[in-house]
Amino acid sequence: MADYKNFTVETDSDGIALVTWDMPDRSMNVFTEEVMDELDKIIDHVASTESIKGAVITSGKETFSGGADLTMLQKMLGIFEAEKAKDEQKAIQLLFDNAGRMTWLFRKLETCGKPWVSAINGTCMGGAFEMSLACHGRVAADSDKVKMALPEVKVGIFPGAGGTQRVPRLADPQSALQMLTSGQNLTPKKAKGMNLIHEIAAPDQLIDAAKAMIKNGLKPVQPWDEKGFKLPGGPVYSAAGANLWPPAIAILRRETYGNYPGAAAILKCAYEGLLVPFDTALKIEQRYFAQILRTTEARMMIRSLFVSLQELNKGARRPEGVPETKFAKVGVLGAGFMGAGIAYVTAKAGIPVVLLDRDVASAEKGKAHSAGLMDGAIKKGRATEAEKEQLLSLITPTADYADLDGCDLVVEAVFEDSEVKKGATQQTEAVIAKDAIFASNTSTIPITGLAKNSKRPANFIGIHFFSPVDKMMLVEIILGKKTEDKALAVAIDYVRAIKKTPIVVNDTRGFYVNRCVLRYMAEAFQMLIEGVPPAMIENAAKMAGMPVGPLALTDETAIDLAQKIMKQTIRDLGEKAVDPEQFKLINTMVDTHGRHGRKNGKGFYDYPEKPAKKHLWPGLKDLYPQQDADSIDVEELKQRFLVTIALEAARVMEEGIVTDPREADVGSILAFGFAPYTGGALSYIDGMGLEKFLKLSKQLQKKYGAQFKAPKLLADMEGKGETFYDRFNPYPKTKKAA
């Protein structure tokens, strides 16, 4: 029998083949062309060997599989684009054929005449779960580590290897559609309740349970291949179907505003596929999959939310030649909301933390924040009391700077005041080792200025977290003028250790993210002044793809903070640096009406006591004469939000504040939810095309003002036919940007 690189096949005395997937050069199993070729041969071997009664497929790693390697899809699209230039019809046929490779491999597995059981021992995502659904039996280990999902919709595509057909033929249609369109994770218990797996077994009995299914006479025929098969929710054309499909379409529209072609294609695939025989249904799915792959949304989302995100998480921006830091101890200065959150995520990563504040009581209060977060996780079944005690044992509250001795890294998160930060820096440097790294979590004060307080500016860096720290996945690492490679490497190692995504930013006021966010808010303030109804402003932003409206976001960050930023900007840069009408609006909100945001229950929204929901403050409409809503172009409102943010991202690139387009794109999505279907702020421009984008920004500038003036960089790029990923190619010269 053939030797396989990625699988081992062992047949026991009962004639059951154990197929173990264990890729030697990967930390997680993924489908590649080589893996599919080998699986194809194994299916043939199992089917043609008389002594083999059936097969169990499992993983030799802690996880089962992450699904398909999406760089395969990028390669497929590259071939399509190259062929399209020669013969478009031939290129489309080639893409269609390539898009169906996994589909028909899994169909071959389920119709090979021998029973297959998937023994799911860990995370099982995407194509791996689709393969499991093609197996005749499915057993999952009873473990918190086991999660099953079809998450492709989150990167702009959909489960295109049979997922949209098998799930609604196994589960009730409502649960099936919810799972497919949301990409939600399923626990073994939830998956069994949906009829997507057959059994749950103790981890050490998983293989035995899978083999037992075959020994007990598991039929090598899927339910949909049996005569008389009936859909779990009844026929599509039935009373039940009439109650399901119209609302499903409406709900998807409400959730996505039509921005995600991949999500819409799921409903089309399922609806059309459930009306026809299974093989025809798979062809329908294959057709839609090939179509969705060609969309701008899929291309940009795959690049940013899969490829670039993975690369940044693996330390793409880490300087070479600096040994990796294994953290023995990390110090956190300031036990307020931010500092307490930083201590929590550090301890959660298994790193001992010294949490320092002006007195022990304040530091203890900061530690209690971690206890509260763990209590919440325990209540939801996501943690145990033992895990809580273990995490809390790693946090040492103190008021004594001497306790910072031995820290590899100290993160300062004290009050946003230069003098307070100066004192914290000097007292820390008096006790930490000379090669230890000092990081400031400032959100507004330039790092180069703060580094002047340090005797070793080469080891001084910014590590800017976003609130709430436990939930926000992005961290900005800010380089001061004198910051050296070791400090950058340690900062990236730390951000990776706490399982967050690092982006590297050069020093400037507001860094990268806040500059973009402030543009988003400023455009909303401008709309209020113009008399655009507040509800229209919030809804237009959501329709554009933003998760939170700009007025709600301002409330969350605090309106009086917006006022402080404006006042500081005027002090530093002069009165022309802030729009006087917007400044007047914010002063009116804070000083006249005492509306500071969510924190005092009064902002652009009112925040009544629960269970009542927040609602826009009725007094907002009295501040300015209101336009007739019917006369306002909603499409233009949407464009204003996206274009103003994209232009600021372009300015940041022009100024050299961000130098890697992957970081600008991923950062804009993870930090403030910039319309994910665009692939990020720069991909929004690249996806639209510079000619069209510059024309749009010019129209908006003429109508609404200088905030829409495009930087010279864009005209230069357009003249040279470049995209951001051409101009600022993040890859070595041997590799063309995708």
Phi-psi region of 126 (alpha: psi -120 to 50; beta: other; left: phi over 0): left
**Cα(524)–Cα(715) distance, integer angstroms:** 27
Q: What is the DSSP letter of 68?
A: B
- Give the residue from 553, 512, 443, 465 showing the smallest Cα distance to 668: 512
Question: Is 476 in the active site?
Answer: yes
- Give the residue from 625, 622, 583, 620 showing the smallest Cα distance to 602: 620
**Cα(666)–Cα(501) distance, integer angstroms:** 9
CB 234, CB 243: distance < 8 Å: no
Note the residue count of the chain. 738
**Cα(633)–Cα(572) distance, integer angstroms:** 37
Q: Count other Cβ atoms within 10 Å, centred on residue 632.
A: 18
CB 181, CB 153: distance < 8 Å: yes
The residue type found at 550 is P
- Give the residue from 5, 106, 22, 118 showing the smallest Cα distance to 63: 22
Of the candidates 464, 538, 648, 663, the residue annotated as catalytic is 464
Q: Which residues, including other chains, have CB under 8 Å from residue 290's CB and lie 6 or more apart? A: 92, 95, 96, 99, 100
**Cα(550)–Cα(562) distance, integer angstroms:** 12
- Give the residue from 224, 144, 239 showing the smallest Cα distance to 186: 144
Which residue is it, tokens 């003429």?
702
Of the candidates 152, 476, 523, 648, the residue annotated as catalytic is 476
Helix segments in 171-259, DSSP class H: 173-182, 188-193, 206-215, 239-256
**Cα(80)–Cα(95) distance, integer angstroms:** 6
**Cα(533)–Cα(53) distance, integer angstroms:** 69
Question: Is 45 in the active site?
Answer: no
**Cα(720)–Cα(339) distance, integer angstroms:** 47
β-bridge mates for residue 437, sequence order: 409
CB 537, CB 524: distance < 8 Å: yes
Question: Is 152 in the active site?
Answer: no
Question: Is 464 in the active site?
Answer: yes
**Cα(431)–Cα(634) distance, integer angstroms:** 58
- Give the residue from 267, 272, 283 showing the smallest Cα distance to 236: 272
Q: How far, CA to CA in Å, does 537 sit from each of 50, 330, 546, 633?
A: 68, 43, 12, 11
- Give the residue from 508, 530, 527, 510 showing the smallest Cα distance to 518: 510
Q: How far, CA to CA in Å, does 730 sit from each of 229, 401, 664?
A: 52, 41, 12
Q: How far, CA to CA in Å, does 194 sit from each of 171, 199, 506?
A: 5, 12, 49
Tokens of 88: 């478009």
Of the candidates 175, 304, 441, 514, the residue annotated as catalytic is 514
What backbone phi and psi angles, to 5 degrees, belong to 574? 95, 165
- Name the packing angle between helices 513-530 and 634-654 (round to 10°): 150
Of the candidates 443, 453, 459, 668, the residue annotated as catalytic is 443
Q: Which of the residues are catalytic?
A: 443, 464, 476, 514
